[in-house]
Amino acid sequence: MPQESIQQLNRRLGLAPSLVFEAGEGGLTRAVLRTPAADAHVYLHGAHVTHFRPRGTAPVLFTSARSAFESGKPIRGGVPVIFPWFGPRRDDPSSPMHGLARLAGWSAAASQLLDSGDVELSLELASSPDTRRLWPHDFRLRLTVRVGAALEMALEVANTSQTAFDCEEALHTYFAVGDVRRVQVRGLEGCDYLDKTDNLARKNQGQQPVTIVAETDRVYLETTAACTIDDPVLARRIVIEKSGSANTVVWNPWIAKARAMPDFGDDEWPNMICLETCNVGPSALRLGPGRSHRMAATVRVGQM
Ligand code: BG6
């Protein structure tokens, strides 16, 4: 389908001044959502939320100054949508890391201004010859982003094939923090996790909050509770509530891995932490034909 122009998108779904489409970084099309409570940016490339700032606070999402903004490349930061596999593809490591959704051009499907003053945008990605070259199944993804005092993101996956499929999914959220070495993440106490920095060894978090003192790459299992990120440097607490998600991934690349990533500044690692709402590994989804699944995350800023 030929890509809709910015003018056509604004005519069909624009709600100026609350929702306006424009050319963003690298000329990629983005929606700018503005409400009395917050601002946000959502790119059609990857259905990628790159920015969320409630009034009176610093941006809540981290986006790298070195990120590519280019079709065919992922955006580094914000909220990459990961589907249908997480990390390297198990049966084919030459396939793109973290699946196809973050590399695809999504279409804008619906917009709405709510009585509360919040504004909502839905984006869709349906299987096509391009996606079938990478993954043989038929599906429809819908990401609904609601912006107000909180940022709400809901990812719906529908199986439109004749047969069942297995898939993984994540809202791979990069949070901005003052200094990752000083943050405490709560909500994962007592949970088991797979440590990707230690050959996927299964470990337990114990009763301590998560702190970051080295490269950290963990898949927490069976986690449904809300998580909080306490940030003494920015003097704020970020609260993440979720539904339809069995895992939380915690990731910070630390020094060496940051240096090895071409689209991430060498000195940016202290200013971010990924806390990802997902269904991956042992909690991958199995969807029968005609079935769908909804996973959602709500992010808000509070006082510590
Ligand atoms: C995390 C993974 O979710 O994403 C890490 O657990 C990975 O292993 C990280 O390094 C970043 O991946 P990418 O493909 O965006 O560089």
d(CA 185, CA 244): 21
d(CA 118, CA 174): 22
Name residues contacting ligand 1 (CB within 6 A): 74, 87, 97-98, 172, 196, 217, 249, 251, 276
Q: Which of 120, 172, 241, 268 is catalytic?
A: 172
Q: Which two tokens stand for residue 16?
A: 């100026």
Which protein residue has the closest C-alpha to ligand 1 atom 14? 97
Q: CB–CB of 272/176 below 8 Å?
A: yes
Q: What is the pTM of this model?
A: 0.98
Neighbour-count burial of 251, counting CB atoms closer than 10 A to its CB (0-12 exposed, 13-18 middle, 19+ buried): buried
172 among known catalytic residues: yes
Per-residue pLDDT tens for 103-125? 999 999 999 999 999 999 999 99
Locate the ligand 1 atom nearest the alpha carbon of residue 74 and give its number.
15
Which protein residue has the closest C-alpha to ligand 1 atom 5? 217
Q: Which two tokens stand for residue 51?
A: 């920015």
Ligand 1 center from residue 209 Cα (angstroms):
22
Query: CA 6, 10, 11: angle at the middle one, nearest 5?
Result: 115
- Looking at every residue in the chain, the average pLDDT score rounds to 97
Q: Identify the pLDDT of residue 67.
A: 98
From first to last of its 304 residues, the chain has per-residue pLDDT tens of 557 999 999 999 999 999 999 999 999 999 999 999 999 999 999 999 999 999 999 999 999 999 999 999 999 999 999 999 999 999 898 999 999 999 999 999 999 999 999 999 999 999 999 999 999 999 999 999 999 999 999 999 999 999 999 999 999 999 999 999 999 999 999 999 999 999 999 999 999 999 999 999 999 999 999 999 999 999 999 999 999 999 999 999 999 999 999 999 999 999 999 999 999 999 999 999 999 999 999 999 998 8
Which protein residue has the closest C-alpha to ligand 1 atom 7? 87
Cis before 253? omega within 30: no
Per-residue pLDDT tens for 161-181? 999 999 999 999 999 999 999
How many residues can be counted in the chain? 304
Q: CB–CB of 287/164 below 8 Å?
A: yes
276 among known catalytic residues: yes
